[in-house]
Each structure stands twice: as C-alpha cells, then as structure tokens.
Structure 1
Amino acid sequence: MNDLLHLKGATALVTGANGFIGSHLVDQLLASGCTVHGLVRESSDLKWLDASKVHLHRADLARADFIVPAMGELDYIFHCAGLTKAKSRSDYFQVNATACSNLYEQCQKHGGQIKGIVHLSSLAATGPSPQGGLVDEITPCRPVTFYGQSKLAGEEIAIQYSQSLPLAVIRPPVVYGPREENFFTFIKLIQKGWGLQIGRAGKELSLIYVSDLVDAMLTASDPSKQKGHSYFVTDGRVYVWEQVAKECARILNVKVKTLRVPEAALVPVALFFEAWSSFSSKPALFDRQRMIDIRQSSWSASPENFFKMFDFEPQYELSRGLTQTIKWYQKEKWLGHE
C-alpha cells in the first residue's frame, strides 16, 4: 500500500459503491480513515457493503435531475459507476458518458472544496493492442465495441472538466479478485477440468488484481499529483489465456483438458441470448458485442507512465493474486474444495 496520508480524515464519495471494484474501494477508504458516501441505484444489491459504516444514497446518475449527495462535504470523488452490459448502444452511452456530464457539471459549480477526482475508465476505451505489442497513453483510441466507445466518450467528458477540476483517469485491463463474477466463471470451468480456448491459441491480455487497482486509484487521488491525464494501470506483465488457465489449475490441483471452440460457433449462441433478452428487461448474458472482444488477438497495455508518475508498484503478481482469489471463492462456497 502506498502512502495515503492525504485520505486520513477526509470525506469521499464512491459512485457504483456496491460493485466489484467500488466495494473494494469503499473498504480501503474506510481503512484509511475516511468518511465514505456511497452512491448506488435503487435496485442495487448491497451484499458487499456494511450499511452501518457507509452513508448510502440511492439515485440514478444518468437522470437530469440527479443531485450529488453531500456535495459541500466532499474532499474526494471516485467515479466507478458504469455499465459493462447493456441492451443497446444508447444505454451504454446514457450511463457511461451522459452521467459523467451530470456529475462533473455539479462538481464544477458547487464543489470548489474538492481536492481530487478519479474517473474509472477501461482499456476498452482505447481498443485492442497489436499481437506482441502494447498500447499506451499516446496510442490513438479506436474502441471496437459499444462499451469501449461509451467509456471513451466518458473519458473525453472527464478530461474536458479536468481543466477546472483536479481529475485523473484510470484505465484498467481485466480486473480480477474476490467478489468478481465473470472471472469466476473462467475459474469454475478450470476446476471442472476444462480450459476453454475460443479461436486460436496465444491470445494476450494484461491483468490487475483488484487490491492493486484500488491502491492505484487512491494514489492517483493525491492532490499533490499531476491531474488531467489518462493512465493505464496493470500488474506490469502480459499473459496469454493458456498461461492463466495453467496457473489456476496448479492452484486448484486439477488436470485440465483444452476445449477448443471455433469463434464462429459462438455466433448462434450470441444470437440466442440476444433474442432471449428481447423478452426481458435485462441485457443478454452473451452477445455479438462480446464476440468482438473475444476475436481480438491482444488486450495489453503499458503501465509504465503511471508507475513513473506516481512511484507506483503493484503488490500482486499473477500467482499471488489468483491464489487469494481462489481462496476467497472457496471460503464463500463459490468453489468447492476439490
């Protein structure tokens, strides 16, 4: 953990406080001596939050009449709220972009005392990297999905407001750790003895353990640090999915057979889930937008600029991070002790 003395005794707002990343951020802010306000939706599941320790506010950031809670008290804002799945392009943009304008406009007008804002974006805002290469902060942004396009739009809004607000943008890659449900599905397959390979082998990715991402976000909130820029934050390494699967299998002590699935075989699956979703208020579990992500040969980024600017060093390499994650899944009975 980096020196976070600037947070002691401060008051912070976390949007999306009930989410995977937001809830871990709330935990660390409380541990750092902060008074924490959490913004959640009316329908949000609060299972990861201790309501006795967090001032919870139920509201919809994307509504034009949204009012930032406790604005006059806030020292720091961590904007984690966002959609990773949606039924339409407009839904992505409503939450991942329009809501940013609502939030930062109020900060600009009424939040003169705010010392730091951290805007959580994504590698998806930049787009995939070339095979064997890395994207960095000067790489032109070419997002390939509605999600990535909406996250880029949110970033652009944040950077515009950074001319008058102390704001930094953090772009993580795949984030894993306790409470994460998508990565859990991958690990559950490994436990059952199957490693899923979609398309060709050797697809690359960057990763970061959730505690390291939270540490990076808290570090970036320091008023003495440079603001108004976007930064990639990863664990500093590049992996292939087969390597991640092998490490999971080692920790779980299971033998794994590779199940090879052609990318084209998933198209009808995506179409089925999209059709099913049309009869529901919820987005599809798997769709053609997700297929675009899967087809890419590499999602890898260089964190060197952030490491140098903030004197930051991740504490979790892959083996340690996966071990902690799997232990948590087992403790919570998500995984059995096989």
Structure 2
Amino acid sequence: MDLKGKKVLVTGAEGFIGSHLTERLVELGTDVTALVQYNSFNNWGWIETFDKNIKDNINVVLGDIREYDGVKKIIKGQEVVFHLAALIAIPYSYISPMAYVKTNVEGTTNVLEACREYDVQKVVHTSTSETYGTALYVPIDEKHPLQGQSPYSASKIGADKIAESFYRSYNLPVVTLRPFNTYGPRQSARAVISTIISQILSGANEIKLGSLTPTRDFNYVKDTVEAFIKVAECDNTIGEVINAGSNYEISIADLVKKIINIIGREVEIVCDEERIRPEKSEVNRLWADNTKIKDLTGWLPRYTLDEGLKETIEWLKNNLHLYKTNIYNV
C-alpha cells in the first residue's frame, strides 16, 4: 500500500510517539487527521509545538476513544487508521486499573468496530513489549507467552486479543505492532531515559531511580515511527503481531553510566522506593527478536543507542523548561 494521498487517522496524535508519527505522515504526503483527547482548553499536546507548515497540513479533531458515537464520526471516510491512543503509565495502573480497561480495552474495541463498519483498508494497532512480561527466553519473538504483570500490561494484552478477534471473526485488515522501549524527544519524564537526562540537566547532584538491574531493548522514536510506516505499507502484515525492537539489551545501571558519560557530569544514583514496582510485577528482562519485521518489511533500526541518546539530550537541553524535574508523577 502506498500511503501517499491516503486519508489517514492517528489516534493519540498529541502524545509522544503519535506526534512523531503524525509529522512523518505529513512528510509522506498523506491526508492526516489527528485525533486528540478532548479537553476544554482545546490543547493539542505536542502538535502545538509543530512547525506551522506541518501543523497547517493536519486536520486536528478532539474526541475520546471511550465514546463510540464520536469515534464513528471521526473514522468515517478514513482509509488507514494508526491506533496509538492509550493509557500508558505503568505506575498509575496500580492505582486505577479500571481506567486502563476502559481506555485500552473498551476504547480499542470502539476503534476497531468503527473501522469494521466503515471498511477501513488498514488498521495498525499499537501493542507494547510489556505484554511479554519478564522474558522466559531471549531474544523474545512473537510466539513468546503473554504475561499480565501489571494492570497496564493486562489491559494491552486484552486490546491485542480484541484486535486478533476482529481479524479472525470479521476479516478486519489489522496488524498489531509491538514496539519495545521507545525513547526520544517529547517523552514523558516518567520514562527512564527522560527522567535520567532531565534530572542530570537540571543540576541535581543525585538522581532518583527505581530498580537498576532490569534490562530493556531501547529504540529511538524515529525508528519506531518508521516501523509503523513499514507495517502499514506492507500487505503481508495483515493479521500479524510484529515486534519492533533493536535486538540489543542493556541494563538500567549500564544505561545510566552511558548517559552520564555522554553528558559528562558525575552524579550519585539513589534508589527511590516510590519508583520500584511490586516484586512480582517488575519486568526484569526485555530483548526483542526483530527477525519477523525485518523479513516482512525490511525494517531495521537506523539509530544506535548512543546516537539516539545524543539527540534526546540535545532536545531536552532546549526544552527542559517543559519538565518538572523535581516532581515524580506516576
């Protein structure tokens, strides 16, 4: 499928990955509609920061994926839907698990049902590596068991299975993309890379983190966006679940050392109990097998971890005023 000229909807377009994807779709010449969560301030999230030439080529609509009638009106006439809208903060899922079910499971069902009703040509549903839980073997391929180690991951497993059911029951042309740990400009300060960098750049002599032993498979946001584009363009991805990862793992402890070395400023690392997950909920190891996406679409990450970190650090230097580095918000 050639996306150029297609009518494309991005849900969650105001967020971290969604905003980068929306920009890229404009560059590719698509007719982009950006679904932003309704708010009375008419605030468009990260879209507000776009260059005017990009912003003027986006149709921004406000709505809520939890409300079916509104979702139907927005999806009518769309040819491709990238579904990224979700509640993503793992710590808050311990506090309000039902909110994650309503948004991630029920909201996804609303999106898929509307796509089915209006014969959308391709739906890209966003999953997460958290659905795998702690690796039972590595690297993690798409056949790895799913483990609901947090209410967040359980809700995303539910959403993924709803997407699978719409493909199997209604032949909906949906693909589930499962990105591993994406990082980069615009990411929430809750995320480990953003919180490390922002605390150091703010001048703190000590940085507060959770557990340092888990490993993660980090991917720069521009690479993740290209994975979305590739799976949308490839007809052979319909009905598939596909990892997007680097096939490289690094511990949080080694990640901190790498960031400290790049910034060139010594700090003390302090373990903050508030940031530690419940023992049985911690995902101790994530390492992606990216063979499937490479074979189907030719996608491979272009950015090394060092290259992505350097770009992220430079962006945060210029935008640190947007972050409350002294407050930990779940």
TM-score range, shorter chain: 0.7 to 0.9
Q: Deviations over 1:142-200 (max 9, x none)?
A: 1200000000000001111123122111111221000012332121234435455645x
Q: C-alpha distance in 2, partners of 1:196/1:302?
A: 31
Change (3 A) 1:160 1:304: same
CA distance in 2, matches of 1:229, 1:242: 34
User: 1:273 aligns to what?
Assistant: none
1:169 is matched with which residue? 176
| 1:137 correspondence with 2:142 | yes
Alpha carbons 2:77, 2:118 under 8 Å: kept: no
Identical pairs, percent: 25
Distance 2:176 2:217 in 1: 18
Deviation at 1:27, TM superposition (A): 0.3
Q: Which runs of 5+ in 2 are unaligned?
A: 324-330
Map residues 201-216 of structure 1 onto 2, 5 A cutoff.
201-216=212-227
In structure 1, the partner of 2:70 is 66
TM-score w.r.t. the length of structure 1 is 0.82
* Counterpart amino acid of residue 194 in structure 2: F
TM-score (norm 2): 0.84
Q: What is the rounded CA distance, in whole Å, between the counterparts of 1:334 and 1:307 in structure 2?
A: 39
Find 2:153's aligned residue among 148, 157, 165: 148
- The match for 1:282 is none
Match of 2:237 in 1: 226
Separation in 1, partners of 2:322, 2:258: 16
Q: Please report how far the alpha carbon of residue 334 of structure 1 lies from its aligned counterpart in structure 2 after TM superposition.
A: 4.4
Structure 1 match to 2:198: 188
- Aligned partner (choices 119, 127, 150) of residue 125 of structure 2: 119
* Contiguous gaps of at least 5 residues in structure 1: 270-285
Partner residue in 2 for 1:253: 264
Q: SS of 1:298's equivalent?
A: coil
Task: State how 1:1-338 maps to structure 2 within 5 Å.
Answer: 6-43=2-39, 45-49=43-47, 50=50, 51-85=55-89, 86=92, 87-111=95-119, 114-130=120-136, 133-163=138-168, 164-181=171-188, 182=190, 183-191=193-201, 192-194=204-206, 196=208, 198-199=210-211, 201-259=212-270, 261=271, 266=273, 269=274, 290-291=277-278, 295-334=282-321
Render the CA deviation track for 1:265-299: whole Å, top value 9, x for unaligned: 72xx4xxxxxxxxxxxxxxxx6x8x4458743213
- Secondary structure of 1:48's counterpart equals helix
2-structure distance, mates of 1:333, 1:198? 22
Supply the distance in 2 between the matched residues of 1:54 and 1:307 (Cα, whole angstroms): 30
Amino acid aligned to 1:42: Y
Equivalent pairs counted in the alignment come to 304
- Displacement of 1:221: 0.4
Gap change, CA 1:40 and 1:47, over 3 Å in 2: closer
Corresponding residue of 1:272: none
Residue 315 (structure 1) shift: 0.7
Shift of 1:333: 3.8
CA 1:103/1:335 → structure 2, altered by over 3 Å: closer, same or farther? closer
Opposite residue 156 of structure 2, the aligned amino acid is K
Q: Which residue identity is paired with 2:227?
A: A
3-state SS of paired residue (2:123):
strand
Residue 93 of structure 1: how far off its partner (Å) = 0.6
Higher mean alpha-carbon deviation, 149-158 vs 58-67, is at 58-67
- Superposition CA RMSD, Å: 2.4
- 1:69–1:56 Cα change, 3 Å: farther
User: Aligned partners of 2:179 and 2:158: how far apart in 1?
Assistant: 16
Q: Which amino acid aligns with 1:332?
A: N
Name the structure with the higher helix share: 2
Q: Specify the code of the residue in structure 2 equivalent to 1:321.
A: G
When residues 134 and 236 of structure 1 are mapped into structure 2, their CA distance, relative to the original with a 3 A threshold, is closer
